[in-house]
Chain A
């Protein structure tokens, strides 16, 4: 038995395959374990060196050893060979190894197929615009490599890349139609459950001095909000997150999530808005104080925080309603009121003593709140993002020695004072304010807008929001963080920036990102249904979508075909007559090859079909004169000659 020798790969195709491998693996270098990235980099370099020097590729034994070694490495790292991360790591390493085995065309096709597959795996790590663009570019390179393999040496890089790009462009109408119309699968396409594992900064449900200062230094976007009605005033934009009730003297921790439902009486018309929340590890759904209507799959804690059923590891879009003026739990259970006046024994004695003296003066709770705020306002308290470190009695040290801090310090000290004076109080975490992006009208709330304020319970009024930071630095609440710190303090470059063009650029970039989130990542079954309904499909489901899909694809194909036909050069009249002659010959079982010249055909007929030869010879001569000769074509003579053919 003999098998055909595999077609050898020509040497000049190898750089294309390296480009393919590099384009499809490059982003993975940042995500794979360092050892794997280093190994892959080494294999790339080795393969490139072997090619450059024209050396022999390593033996199959060595490659087998490498494969076994990397499998062992994957098992050691991930404790399995199966699953998403282990699988991607294996493919990543195999791609690098395949470059040491480029012997035949078959190997090249393996690289290309692996490349196309690896493109998909990048979406496990990132689904941003940048990733999308990179993968589009990589797809052009892989396709160009495929063209190069088929075209041989004649395919020079420029035209080949252009051709591949053109092919991708031509596929765009189909992509759009399929994207918009193909029934969406509910749930994330890329994010598998373990996606939530990565540590992402965000709102925390505990706080001790310092933790919110970290957030304030990040310009990452926490969420975006879109209001149907005009935007409320800035000092009403308190986005409620976790409520922290348990205090051990240093750290505040959140209270219980389950319990009796909060009782909220709305005193103003509900404000409707929609929030697109960036993924983070927590379950808090941010909403303006006080939420009245929540999205499905979520609920309210006893302390009026909106929580989702599961961690928010996917970007989430939800609609909420809030009443900006409200009464919350005017009847509060005694257990809650007792819990919210507890303080750990032996901590912060001076603050407690101060509150004790206030209480002894017999002031009512409202009066106590005012005294505490007056303390912050009248004494030499300062707002800063870089407060001194505090020790075992942080509130005492803050109130009587350092007197410098940010929202967390003020909220914490205020609540301690209130509790010591016998007023139920707690710390609320969340975000304050936000910034309108003039490009798309969304309100953008960043991690730097993270804030902490206080809530006290007053008989008859229920829980009332008090923001002690506003007493110290009203600008923090009214104008945002950048206005509240002295200019000499270092703020992240974008936050302190005055240059309006840079700000405009940032708005534009973020609006593009938002559009991407809304229309690409957030294009779920619900969004699809909304979109199709707006197009005039009353009840979009797969049965009604299938014909639409087919019709859309069919009309694109028709349009492309029509264009191609239109572009086909129109035939010369002499040539049309000659084609008629050839059709007549074919009817008489004469084979006419498209490459055969008329005179050659006539010559051949002279020996094969003498009865036809004479008439054809005459026609051929007139045709040649008409088509290739000088002067106007004698079409009448040609038509007559063709008609004379039997």
Chain B
């Protein structure tokens, strides 16, 4: 099955804005195709917001951005009711979360209470404010960015909430050539604002359905299971992956296979998405938060391909 033309164009356009990060852009797109939320974690200034912005533009989604700060309140996200003098009634003003793609910038700067308001919306795909439950628009994506927790003034997300993100990406510094190009041509932020949507709102759900239908053969499911099981017995991690994480891994691998233009999942796809899906769900036994990339690599090497 050939890769839809539009997806190739999206990858190419995004690659022109966020330089030298083809793999991360592909992972981010796979995450959205697998109906997952995305967490981008890195130092300030490496292009987290730009990537999120670019993707939203290219996918043609109704976009809103919330800058998280320590004094942000839940109502600032979900919306508030104000009294309408003419109708003598309360009128609900929807908050910025009522969009198709929400960019939650620097999510770990807000207090846990505010964070949980967003995370609940992510899981339930609906918002309960002032006793009334309101569904969020479909499709609904959250791309959250966060600074590494050791930065001053942050509230790190607990594991249970990290689990709500299908993938976590680290952008890292650009390589020499990409940085050189960036320095020469200046910031691409403005360019991102001018991007045109390459996908219509109706097309995206169709692509998502196609992704969910990608074939995963029994030996491939065996492989996913073996990997998940191996995390549970590996002494490098404090505990293993949950069944939900196993489902997430398979969904992400399907999207990755779809982006590669295949109608079946290969072990290669699983290996490709495993670090992004698993690292934020595992705690390193050595301490210091997320599982280390080299532990994940060792894990892959310990599980034979069925």
Contacts and interface: CB of A to CB of B under 8 A. Distances in A.
B28 to A, nearest CB: 23
Interface in B262-306: 263-268, 271, 300-305
Contacts of A630: 215, 217, 263-264
A628 B304 contact: no
Contacts of A595: 300-305
A575 B218 CA distance: 13
Interface in A447-464: none
A572 interface: yes
Nearest to A630: B215
A346 interface: no
Given A625-B264, A627-B217, A628-B215, 6 more contacts: A151-B233, A154-B239, A600-B271, A628-B265, A629-B215, A630-B263
Interface string A140-166: 000000000001111000000000000
Contacts of A594: 304-305
Contact of A628 (B235, B266, B301): B266
B238 A153 contact: yes
Given A154-B233, A629-B263, A597 B240 contact: no
A228 interface: no
Interface in A588-605: 593-600
Given A627-B217, A628-B219, A628-B265, A153 B239 contact: yes
A624 interface: yes
Contacts of A598: 305
Nearest to B300: A595
6 contacts: A152-B235, A595-B300, A597-B305, A628-B220, A629-B215, A629-B217
Contacts of A599: 266, 268
A630 B215 CA distance: 7
A572 B264 contact: no
Nearest to A596: B305
A596 B239 CA distance: 25
A624 B266 contact: yes
Interface string A618-637: 00000011011110000000
A488 to B, nearest CB: 68
B235 A597 contact: no
B240 to A, nearest CB: 6
A152 B237 CA distance: 10
A592 B26 CA distance: 28
Given A595-B302, A599-B268, A627 B219 contact: yes
Contact of B219 (A152, A572, A593, A596): A572
B239 to A, nearest CB: 6
B300 to A, nearest CB: 6
Contacts of A593: 301
A157 B300 CA distance: 28
Nearest to A152: B235
A597 B271 contact: yes
Nearest to B216: A628
A56 B142 CA distance: 46
B16 interface: no
Contact of B268 (A152, A600, A625): A600
Nearest to A627: B219
A154 to B, nearest CB: 5
B304 A154 contact: no
A365 B305 CA distance: 102
Interface in A547-583: 572, 575
B232 interface: yes
